[in-house]
Amino acid sequence: MAITYLHLIFLALAGFTLLCALGVVASRNLFHSAIWLIGAFAGVAGLYWLLEAEYLAIAQIMIYIGAIATLIVFAIMLSRGMMIGRVKMNNFQAGISAVVAALLFLMLSFVLLQVNWPVVEQAVSVDPIPMIGEAFVTTYVIPFQVIAVLLSVALVGAIMIARER
Amino acid sequence: MVLANFQFILILALVGLALPFIGVGVAWLLRPKKPNKLKSSTYECGVETYGDAWAQFKAQYYLFALIFVIFDIEAVFLFPWAVAYGGLGFYALLQVVIFIILLFDGLIYAWHTGALKWQ
Amino acid sequence: MNIFEFIRDPSQIGPWFNEVLLSTGMQPWVANLIGDIIGVLLVVIVVLSSAIMLIWLERKIAARLQDRLGPNRAGRYGLLQTLADIVKLLTKEDVTPDGADRVSFNLAPALMVMQIIMVAAIIPVASGLVGANLSVGLLYFVAMSGIASIGALMAGWASNNKYALLGGFRVVAQLMSYEIPLAFSLLAAVIWTGTMATNDLAIKQGELLFGFIPGWNIVVMPFAALIFFISILAEGERAPFDLLEAESEIVAGPNIEYSGLKFAWFYLQFFVNSLLLACIFATVFLGGWQGPFVDQFPILGVGYFFAKSLIVLLALMWVRATYPRLRIDQMMTFCWKVLVPVTLVVVLIVAIGARVTPDRNINAVIISVANIVALFVTLGIVGRSLRRDVERRKAALPGAYTAQV
């Protein structure tokens, strides 16, 4: 398989995403971690778009960068202790998490290498958005309604937790 | 087709991010550089600043952000349906009416408990 | 290809240029890359140069509306005022306040500029003349506004200034709240036109209802257009929704500590963002570049499009120059208790109305009438609850209020 410039774009995006992800865990300032996280989200959105999943990329930007990242920054700002000074990088659970992370990494690599991924040579020819929209209300109608129930439960739960104070 | 757009948007994002820094770089060549203690002090209407600004904030902002996330996700799911709507039957309408009503009662709950009241 | 053909239909230039490059024996991907780079540079140049005109226009119009003269020293009618400002801002000393977080402090203005440049890519100026006619166009537009709120929050946090941080919080609270009615009023338009791509939206609105009424979305759904207009007032941070830069309360919002060119980027974002929001309004609700004879002469679309956008922009400026600002609780209450429920109702009206009869023309009339009825019902309910509120306050403070009211 010849290396095209798309491979280079992929490598650049993947490298950028990994770098940002590393920044999230390595940064000693929580706000900087949040900024790195936004970068990582953007990198993942770029990867989706490179795979011609425009809708998924935009959903990633809209929900993760536009909403979740803001939520995380608010959460950081709400807890005064976290804003001042540097956070300690380790706690007593560091060893256990390292083992779990290593196991997860091994499992994911195993899956990646073992599964025979179907590859399509040609580009997507039709506009997938109407097909996604149709699938929401026909094939995947039960998950679609479960999402609605889940979202309203999340809304009620969020209000109950936040109003306790 | 999609990939052609991808390339355009990627270049645009890079240029859009780089342009402000190029501008600041040009300004750096032109501008005077004479910092002093008084200039770089925090501006709070001439009053001496007390403590740093990174104080704790109201939980209210967080609550509204949570409600916003819920509706944002709802909007993301409804847009593809809206595009496909012209070719779909009555069933599609019914499903989405149920979807919207389920979220509407979340909003009514928030209203009823006073979560939408800004204090 | 002759020059007159390009003047008649400027959207031919892109494919023609690509063919010329290919005919020199270039690899296709290199030709595409060169074409895209030129396209990106064009978008950036148009954005920056329109800002120069726009800032002068806004200051002049706001001044005339408030019975002042506005800029009138630099050049005839003060036309060179913005250029003079640019020179001044370029040569200003750049001050980074003590205790500021340098990385985020410098990144924030870049994110603000990035947002406007990204949004500019999806504006169809004439038939086919668009940076990228994305199939997710409108969703992309909504997603990009999130970048600006992150930038504002970052600026507010990095400045180590209490006013700036408060301003940053207000920006995010306002932008995210009004993003919901913004997205749902666009959803109503998407249900009716059946596409999210901005250029296709303009094409779809070219059909005539009953053969003579322009099928613009503002005709079909006036209430959705009104909600969108209110949302862009808030998204553009304009009075009555400019409490995030209230000079008398929090000095200037998240950009207090910025000076020189970094301040200029915030300033640029404010003005260009308004223009882009007006352009989106014109595209989605006013038929974009549609107008008489665009089929024969697509170049006319540029004129129609900018005329429509400037009318919307003038309305934005007029509101800004006229109304006082709201308090934060009024702003949030209006969004969550009035606009959000009402937009959900409008979405349902359009979805149901589009299915009542098989005839699209009759459906358009039904949706339009239902929209106007919904508007008056909403006005009635809001008016009654406001009156009750006033009565309650009068009862609580008998002496003070009866004297004034």
Q: Is C213 helix (H, G, I), strand (E, B) or coil?
A: strand
pLDDT given at position B1:
45
Name the amino acid, one letter, at C328. I
CA distances (Å), origin B50, targets A26, A85, A136, C166, C195: 31, 17, 55, 16, 54
Residues C255 and C405 sit within 8 Å (Cβ to Cβ): no
pLDDT given at position A34:
87
Residues C139 and C196 sit within 8 Å (Cβ to Cβ): yes
State ipTM.
Answer: 0.86
Mean pLDDT of chain C: 83
DSSP C195: -
Q: Quick one: which H or E segment has residue B27?
A: helix B2-30
pLDDT at C156 over 60: yes
Name the amino acid, one letter, at C33. L
- Of B36, B100, B40, which Cα lies nearest the Cα of B70? B100
C224 vs C186: CA distance, rounded Å: 8
C203 vs A80: CA distance, rounded Å: 53
B32 contacts on C by Cβ (under 8 Å): 91, 93
pLDDT at C405 over 50: no
Q: Quick one: which H or E segment has residue C214?
A: strand C213-214
Tokens in use for A2? 């010849």
pLDDT digits (tens, 9 = 90+) for C353-369: 888 888 888 888 888 88
B72 contacts on C by Cβ (under 8 Å): 179-180, 183
Least-confidence region, from B41-55, C155-169, C252-266? B41-55
Mean pLDDT of chain A: 83
DSSP A88: P
Cis peptide before C240 (omega within 30 of 0): yes
| Cβ–Cβ contact B22 with C under 8 A | no
- Please give the torsion angle defined by the CA atoms of residues C113, C114, C115 and C117, in that order, rounded to the nearest 10 degrees: 90
Share of chain C above pLDDT 90, in %: 11
pLDDT given at position C391:
85
Q: Which of B4-13, C17-26, C232-241, C334-343 has the highest mean pLDDT?
A: C334-343
Average pLDDT over residues B96-106: 87
pLDDT given at position C52:
85
Interchain contact, A158 vs B63, CB within 8 Å: yes
pLDDT digits (tens, 9 = 90+) for C86-125: 888 777 777 777 777 788 888 888 988 999 999 988 888 8
Average pLDDT over residues B75-104: 86
| Cβ–Cβ contact B111 with C under 8 A | yes
Tokens in use for A130? 């109407």
How many residues in total does chain A contain? Answer: 165
Which residue of chain C is at minimal alpha-carbon distance from B32?
A: C93
Residues B6 and C35 sit within 8 Å (Cβ to Cβ): no
CA distances (Å), origin C374, targets A135, C181, C222, C369: 31, 15, 10, 9
The shortest C-alpha distance from A107 to chain B (Å) reads: 31
Tokens in use for C190? 């998407």
CA distances (Å), origin B4, targets A52, A140, B7, C75, C107: 10, 30, 5, 44, 28
The shortest C-alpha distance from B79 to chain C (Å) reads: 6
- Name the residue among B52, B69, B81 with its Cβ closest to that of A68: B69
Buried b (16+ CB within 10 A) or exposed e, B80-117: bbbbbbeebeeebbebbeebbebbbebbeebeeeebbe
CATH number of A1-86: 1.20.120.1200
Average pLDDT over residues C166-184: 87
Average pLDDT over residues C22-41: 82
Chain A neighbours (≥3 Cβ pairs under 8 A) are B, C
Tokens in use for A22? 């590393």
B65 vs A68: CA distance, rounded Å: 9
A121 contacts on B by Cβ (under 8 Å): none
Chain C neighbours (≥3 Cβ pairs under 8 A) are A, B
Residue-range domain boundaries for chain C? 92-404
Which residue of chain C is at minimal alpha-carbon distance from B54?
A: C160
pLDDT band at C404 (very low <50, low <70, confident <90, very high): very low
A39 contacts on B by Cβ (under 8 Å): none
B84 contacts on A by Cβ (under 8 Å): 129-134, 137
C54 vs C274: CA distance, rounded Å: 10
pLDDT band at C239 (very low <50, low <70, confident <90, very high): confident
Q: Which of A27, A35, A152 to mutate to test the interface with C (most CBs of C within 10 A)?
A: A35
Chain B neighbours (≥3 Cβ pairs under 8 A) are A, C
C37 vs C45: CA distance, rounded Å: 12
- Name the residue among B34, B82, B117 with its Cβ closest to that of C191: B82
Alpha-carbon A70 to chain mean position:
14
Residues C332 and C177 sit within 8 Å (Cβ to Cβ): yes
B74 contacts on A by Cβ (under 8 Å): 148, 151
Interface of C with A in 147-176 (CB under 8 A): 147, 149-150, 153-154, 157, 172, 176
A109 vs A107: CA distance, rounded Å: 5
C339 vs C342: CA distance, rounded Å: 5
Interchain contact, B5 vs C190, CB within 8 Å: no
- Name the residue among B55, B76, B95 with its Cβ closest to that of A62: B76
Contacts of B108 (CB under 8 A, 6+ apart): none
B24 contacts on C by Cβ (under 8 Å): 94, 106, 109, 261-262
Q: Which of A13-27, B27-41, C254-268 has the highest mean pLDDT?
A: A13-27
CA distances (Å), origin A81, targets A29, A109, C118, C230: 12, 38, 37, 39
A161 vs A138: CA distance, rounded Å: 35
Phi and psi, residue A117, nearest 5° = -75, 130
Q: Beta strand pairing status for C208-209 and C213-214?
A: antiparallel
The end-to-end CA distance of chain B, in Å, is: 50
| Cβ–Cβ contact C105 with A under 8 A | no
DSSP C159: T
- Of C149, B91, C197, which Cα lies nearest the Cα of A55? C197
User: Tokens 């009759």 label which residue?
Assistant: C362
pLDDT band at C337 (very low <50, low <70, confident <90, very high): confident
Name the amino acid, one letter, at A136. F
Q: Which residue has the higher pLDDT, C294 or C190?
A: C190
pLDDT digits (tens, 9 = 90+) for C266-292: 888 888 998 999 999 999 998 888 878
pLDDT at A17 over 90: yes
Residues C371 and C346 sit within 8 Å (Cβ to Cβ): yes
pLDDT at A40 over 90: yes
Q: Which residue has the higher pLDDT, A1 or C243?
A: C243
pLDDT at C318 over 60: yes
Least-confidence region, from B68-82, C116-130, C242-256? C242-256
CA distances (Å), origin C10, targets A28, C137, C142, C293, C375: 53, 21, 28, 15, 41
Interchain contact, B66 vs A156, CB within 8 Å: no
pLDDT given at position A103:
95
Residues C79 and C56 sit within 8 Å (Cβ to Cβ): yes
pLDDT given at position B56:
59
C117 contacts on B by Cβ (under 8 Å): 12, 15-16, 19
Under the phi-then-psi rule, with left for phi > 0, alpha for psi from -120 to 50, and beta for the rest, what region is B43?
beta
pLDDT at C400 over 80: no
Least-confidence region, from A89-98, B43-52, B92-101, C221-230? B43-52
pLDDT band at C380 (very low <50, low <70, confident <90, very high): very high
pLDDT band at C251 (very low <50, low <70, confident <90, very high): low
pLDDT given at position A164:
60
Interface of C with A in 21-60 (CB under 8 A): 29
pLDDT given at position B55:
59
- Of C172, A163, A38, C329, which Cα lies nearest the Cα of B69? C172
Within C121-221, residue ranges assigned H as helices are 137-158, 162-193, 198-204, 217-220
For residue C86, the tally of other CB atoms under 10 A from its CB is 16
The end-to-end CA distance of chain C, in Å, is: 72
Q: What angle do CA C114, C115, C118 make, to 5 degrees?
A: 80
pLDDT band at B42 (very low <50, low <70, confident <90, very high): low
pLDDT given at position A105:
92
Interchain contact, B88 vs A9, CB within 8 Å: no
pLDDT at C20 over 60: yes
Least-confidence region, from A67-71, C83-87, C94-98? C94-98
Share of chain C above pLDDT 70, in %: 95
Q: Which of A62, A79, A141, A151 to mutate to test the interface with B (most CBs of B within 10 A)?
A: A151
A117 vs C376: CA distance, rounded Å: 57
Phi and psi, residue A128, nearest 5° = -75, -15
pLDDT given at position A20:
93
C101 contacts on A by Cβ (under 8 Å): 29, 31-32
pLDDT given at position A165:
54
User: Tokens 């960068």 label which residue?
Assistant: A65
Q: Which of C144, C149, C174, C176 to mutate to test the interface with B (most CBs of B within 10 A)?
A: C176
Least-confidence region, from A9-23, A139-153, B31-45, C358-372? B31-45
Interchain contact, B31 vs C92, CB within 8 Å: yes
- Of C273, C185, C176, which Cα lies nearest the Cα of C229? C185
Q: What is the CATH T-level fold of the domain B2-112, as seen in this structure?
A: Methane Monooxygenase Hydroxylase; Chain G, domain 1 (1.20.58)
Q: Which residue has the higher pLDDT, B48 or A21?
A: A21
Q: Which residue has the higher pLDDT, A80 or C148?
A: C148
A44 vs C369: CA distance, rounded Å: 45
Phi and psi, residue C157, nearest 5° = -75, -40
